[in-house]
Amino acid sequence: MPAMSSFTVNDRAATPVAHTFAPRGKEPAPLWGETAVIPDGEKQVTFRGRSTGSGASKRFRSLTRFTSPTVVNETINGVSVPRVVRVQGLSVETTFTGDSTLQERKDCMTLLRNMFVEGGQFDLAITNPEGVW
């Protein structure tokens, strides 16, 4: 089981910006956040992993969620106040059987990651947003 630690990822801005996510806590699920002007404006990642069943019916499941609030400064009576106006996000859910091999799990992770390559059909369908035909 990997230990919680900070991690850094780049965005897709014209000049990429590095975003560092630091551990925020483990209850009710491990949570990482990127420091923001206001706590509600933090970009966050959560991870939940569990196993169910036993023997041939054993399943390993995980859910990883990323949320990205948009914060604007609102001026009320001459006072500028930061406020969350919307929250975007993505979720990835995995399910593996108890008899899946390490290589099968690695292949699934890599194939999924590569399906979302920049400019590919899934990337375009999500970022534009538009359907796939």
pLDDT tens string 55-95: 778 999 999 999 999 999 999 899 999 999 999 999 999 99
Please report whether residue 130 resides in a domain. Answer: yes
Residue (of 14, 11, 3, 64) closest to 34 by Cα position: 11
Please report whether residue 2 resides in a domain. Answer: no
116 and 126 in a single domain? The answer is yes
Q: Which residues contact 127 (CB under 8 A, 6 or more apart)?
A: none
42 and 87 in a single domain? The answer is yes
Give, as one character, the DSSP assignment of residue 40. Answer: G
40 and 105 in a single domain? The answer is no
Range with the poorest average pLDDT among 16-20, 36-40, 41-45, 82-86: 36-40
54 and 88 in a single domain? The answer is yes
43 and 58 in a single domain? The answer is yes
124 and 61 in a single domain? The answer is no
Residue (of 53, 37, 42) closest to 95 by Cα position: 53
Q: What percent of the chain has pLDDT over 70?
A: 99
What is the domain extent for residue 79?
A: 7-99
Residue 85, pLDDT score: 95
Per-residue exposure over 22-57, b if at least 16 CB sit within 10 Å of its own CB, e if not:
eebeeeeebbbbbeeeeeebbbbbbbeeeeeeeeee
Domain count, the chain: 2
56 and 93 in a single domain? The answer is yes
73 and 131 in a single domain? The answer is no
Question: Residue 53 and residue 63: Cα distance in Å, rounded?
Answer: 18
105 and 95 in a single domain? The answer is no
Please report whether residue 18 resides in a domain. Answer: yes
123 and 107 in a single domain? The answer is yes
Please report whether residue 1 resides in a domain. Answer: no
